[in-house]
Amino acid sequence: MRIGVLGVGKTPHKIQHDKSLRDLIVEAGRGAMDDAGVGPDDIQALYLGNVAAGGFNYENSIGLMGAHHLGIVPAPAVRVEAACGTGAWALHLGCVAIASGLYDTVMVLGAEKMNDLATVEGTSVIAQAADSKEEYFSGLTFPSGVALTARKYMQTHEVTEEDLAHTSVKNHYYGARNPSAHLRFECTVEEVMNSATVADPLKLYEVCPMTDAGSALVLCREEILREQADKPQVFITATQMATGTWYAVSDATDALKATSGRAYEMAGLTAADIDVAEIYNSFAIQEPLGIEALGFAERGEGWKGAADGSTWLDGDVAVNPSGGLLCKGHPLGATGSTQAVDIVEQLRGTAPEGMQRQDAEIGISACRGGPGSVGAVHIYQRLEG
């Protein structure tokens, strides 16, 4: 499979009190269309990822609203929702739509406007993405559910809190260099350890902020991109999704593991071929779990790369050179699409200074949602004529 990436766009990732959800959608969507050199009339379908506008913004039918404000009516538009895997699911549907042959050019967009609510209200909205009866309305939140995962990981693999803190240090090193990131400061292991406890053993610097953002891609048939030889020839060569555990009682990586194996097979690649990876880490512990699920490290050893340098920019594989969700923030519906945009920038060689993996040709993005309910893996390759 080769799905052409004709254009990408993204808004800043930060608290944006001056912008509404529709502002974010329009800014990201127009950015991607401008980059692609197409107009609204060229978009044949819109897949718009948004997790919780009903809770954050008191509005629904977001796909239809987005189509209207982007001017792509009467092309079909639909909202995609799959917890934190939403943006990746929209991307999957966009790829499937092109691969099916039904459409030539589609837009994939993710957007979330989270900061119209106070944190305590926002936390309650986010918690609805897990089982409301059995887990999260029993006083568990997403941070505390993941805290249970972190403690289990520490127990099982004899890993300390200091060991895990290196992941935040690495992400913040690159986040400080990402002009689009929400949190732009470097930190030390000691500063991570001394930051406030959110849900023991998770600390503040191991938790993503609530962020307003949108991001978008214009996808096309391979031939359309090939005809524009002056454009970077970046293609999506694998898209795989899976459903995994609905409860926080496991380490919640079964969906991601299932997905990564199928994705490598689809692209005809292995983990060793990957230059650069964007791995979901709304909480720091999810990065080592993702690294293991993608086959970059053995079980229980995914945390080591941040400590020994092998997952830094010039390591075996650059993991989250964008600063990850820990620094970009986690604008729920936009997270998966922003990962895709960031990888495309890496393969185009246009990532910001200090974030660019040298000669990156093959990239991967791994997104997840719910306690472990969504696994999403996409592989991207630069394949010049």
Partner 1 sequence: MTVSAIEYTRLGPPKLRLYAMRCSSCGKLSPWWEKNHCYECGGGDLTHEELAGGGEITNYTVVYYPPRDFLGQEPYVVGHIQMDEDVLLPAPVVDVAPDDVEVGTRVTSTLRRMKLGHEGDIYYGHKFVVE
Binding site for partner 1 (CB under 8 A): 119-121, 123-124, 127, 133-141, 143-144, 147-148, 151-152, 155, 196-202, 245, 247-249
Kindly calculate the radius of gyration of the chain based on its CA atoms and give it in whole angstroms: 19
Q: How far is CA 142 from the centre of its chain?
A: 17
Largest CA distance in the chain: 57
Phi, psi angles (nearest 5°) of residue 73: -60, 135
- Smallest separation, CB 350 to partner 1 (Å): 37
Phi, psi angles (nearest 5°) of residue 267: -90, -10
- Smallest separation, CB 258 to partner 1 (Å): 15
Nearer to partner 1, 253 or 338 (CB): 253
DSSP letter at 329 equals: -
- 240 CB contacts (<8 Å, ≥6 apart)? 92, 259, 260, 262, 263, 266, 375, 376, 377, 378
- Smallest separation, CB 207 to partner 1 (Å): 9
Structure tokens at 148: 């249970």
Nearer to partner 1, 78 or 249 (CB): 249
Nearer to partner 1, 75 or 199 (CB): 199
Q: Looking at the chain, how many residues does it have?
A: 385
Nearer to partner 1, 40 or 201 (CB): 201
- Smallest separation, CB 362 to partner 1 (Å): 35
Nearer to partner 1, 144 or 228 (CB): 144
Rounded to an integer, what distance in angstroms lies between the CA atom of residue 6 and that of residue 377?
A: 20
- Smallest separation, CB 244 to partner 1 (Å): 11
- Smallest separation, CB 289 to partner 1 (Å): 16
Pick from 290, 230, 251: which is nearest to 145 by CA?
251
DSSP letter at 57 equals: T
Give the active site residues.
84, 330
Nearer to partner 1, 236 or 256 (CB): 256
Contact 235, 380 (CB under 8 A): yes
Pick from 279, 297, 260, 264: which is nearest to 153 by CA?
297
- Smallest separation, CB 249 to partner 1 (Å): 5
Nearer to partner 1, 36 or 126 (CB): 126
Structure tokens at 126: 């986010």
Rounded to an integer, what distance in angstroms lies between the CA atom of residue 68 and that of residue 83?
A: 24
In this structure, are strands 77-80 and 46-49 parallel, antiparallel, or unpaired? Answer: parallel
Q: Where are the alpha helices (DSSP H) in the chain?
A: 21-36, 53-56, 62-70, 86-100, 119-127, 142-157, 161-175, 189-194, 222-226, 254-267, 286-293, 304-308, 324-328, 332-348
Contact 234, 5 (CB under 8 A): yes
